[in-house]
């Protein structure tokens, strides 16, 4: 199936590394996201995990932006929607969606994702400008 250029996701997804605890997906109970949205996340894992597997998770959204009240722990359930071998045979990559976030929790994650994208995309643009200036000198 080819991509037709139309984004079907309900929530914006950005590359964010965030620790998740629990879920039983790894023996040590820890996962790190590859990307995050208010709807779910993806992670790398050393083994295959069956779609429809439920994961009990705990994550801490770090303090961000002006006026933020500090770190915010969120406990929720997610369900694995797909798991595929990674290119190069270095494990698997799975995607999961959140099942039971409150509206407030989902909104908080969404604000964090928006803030993260704005701050880090702007810093990437600045880094590219610095590189261009340095190469011109």
How confident is the model at residue 65, as a pLDDT? 82
Please write the tens of the pLDDT for every residue from 36-92: 999 999 999 888 899 999 999 999 999 998 877 789 999 999 999 999 998 887 889
Domain boundaries, the chain: 19-131
Give the Cα-Cα-Cα angle 28, 100, 19 (nearest 5 degrees). Answer: 30
Please write the tens of the pLDDT for every residue from 94-107: 999 999 999 999 99
- Rounded Cα distance between 97 and 107, Å, is 15
Name the CATH superfamily housing domain 19-131: predicted glycosyltransferase like domains (2.40.10.220)
How confident is the model at residue 95, as a pLDDT? 95
């Amino acid at each position: 199936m080819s991509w037709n250029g139309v984004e079907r996701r309900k929530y914006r997804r950005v590359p964010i590394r965030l620790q998740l605890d629990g879920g039983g997906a790894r023996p040590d109970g820890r996962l790190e996201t590859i990307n995050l949205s208010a709807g779910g996340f993806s992670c790398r894992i050393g083994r295959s995990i069956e779609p429809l597997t439920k994961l009990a998770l705990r994550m801490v959204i770090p303090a961000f932006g002006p006026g933020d009240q500090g770190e915010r722990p969120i406990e929720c359930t997610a369900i694995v929607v797909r798991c595929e071998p990674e290119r190069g045979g270095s494990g698997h990559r799975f995607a999961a969606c959140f099942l039971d976030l409150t509206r407030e929790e989902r909104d908080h994650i969404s604000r964090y994702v928006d803030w993260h994208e704005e701050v880090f995309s702007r810093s990437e643009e600045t880094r590219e400008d610095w590189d261009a200036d340095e190469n011109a000198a």
